[in-house]
Amino acid sequence: MDQTRRGTNRRLQIFRGIKGRYVSETADLDFDPAAWNEEKGHVDELLYMARNLDKLSQQMDRTGLAFELKGDEQVILVLGGSGIVELKATGVPDEEGSRGVGFRVTRGISYRAGAHNGTYVSRREVQRIIDADGTTVITTHRVVYTSLKRSRTWEYGKTLDVFHSDSVAQGWGGSYLGVSNRKRTSGFIYRNGFARSVRDRLVLALAIADGTLEEMVTALETEKAQLERL
């Protein structure tokens, strides 16, 4: 890495897109060693997990899982102290736009979730926590939430929309999964400090379910190579 490039503006053309999932972005990246190290570390971490899914799954504590795994289903994350959050629409629909259907994985790679990108009418919405003190399990087939009071499952095959919020409540973030069999969009919550880890594992699970894991690895390898050329 050439330290003389500090402060120079680098334009990167990232990944061309596979199956409409990974989206090409052109990023203006002002070279900053701290930002470079953080981004490079994030890409390396995602690559390691994507290449070692069996090992990652074996590290998960499955003791006390409230549901049976199906066939080749693997556990990607067991998240205690979680909860359920729902979006509640208020007022009239905003006909001028629709809710986003994708989210950024790293600086240069975005992911669009859902085999059938649903059409949404944007509404003024509020976030409402409807349960807490439960466990969310991310697997390669679905996300399952269970507590003493409630349970909820989001099947990837029915996913129309995936997006995140960093302000569900003070110190809490959430990941929402809009699914075709449920009218109201809901998701699961976690402490903000776990956000990147949770979201990285969710995007890996989505890529496995969609059959685009190899394309995701290729995209990450491309970004890693471009970062190393800065």
Q: Which residues pair with 111 in a beta bridge?
A: 22, 103
Tokens of 74: 């693997």
Q: H-type helices in 52-124, by residue range?
A: 53-58
How many domains does the structure of the chain reveal? 1
Give bridge partners of residue 103 from the DSSP assignment. 111
- CA distances (Å), origin 102, targets 71, 92, 98, 127, 157: 29, 24, 12, 19, 16
CATH number at residue 16: 2.30.29.30
Amino acid at 97: G
Q: Which helix (H) or strand (E) holds 144?
A: strand 142-146
What is the model's pTM? 0.77
Torsion of CA 46, 78, 180, 95, to 10 degrees: -60
Which residue range(s) make up the domain with 149? 3-228
Q: For the stretch 119-134, what's the b/e string if a residue is b when 16 or more beta carbons lie within 10 angstroms of its beta carbon?
A: ebeeeeeebeeebbeb
C-alpha distances (whole Å) from 130 to each of 107, 127, 219 are 33, 10, 37
Compute CA 21 distance to the chain's CA centroid, rounded to the nearest angstrom: 13
Straight-line distance from the first to the last Cα atom of the chain, in angstroms, rounded to the nearest whole number: 6
How far apart are alpha carbons 87 and 129 in whole angstroms?
A: 9
CA–CA distance, 99 with 164 (Å, rounded to integer): 12
Q: Per-residue pLDDT for the chain (230 aa), expressed as one digit of tens each?
A: 444 333 333 323 333 333 334 444 445 545 678 888 888 888 899 999 999 999 999 999 888 899 999 999 999 999 999 999 998 865 544 443 333 335 566 655 565 544 333 344 444 578 899 999 999 999 999 999 999 999 999 999 888 888 888 889 999 999 999 888 888 899 999 999 999 999 999 989 988 988 888 888 888 888 888 888 86
Dist CA 52 CA 201 (whole Å): 12
Cα gap 86→184, rounded to integer Å: 7
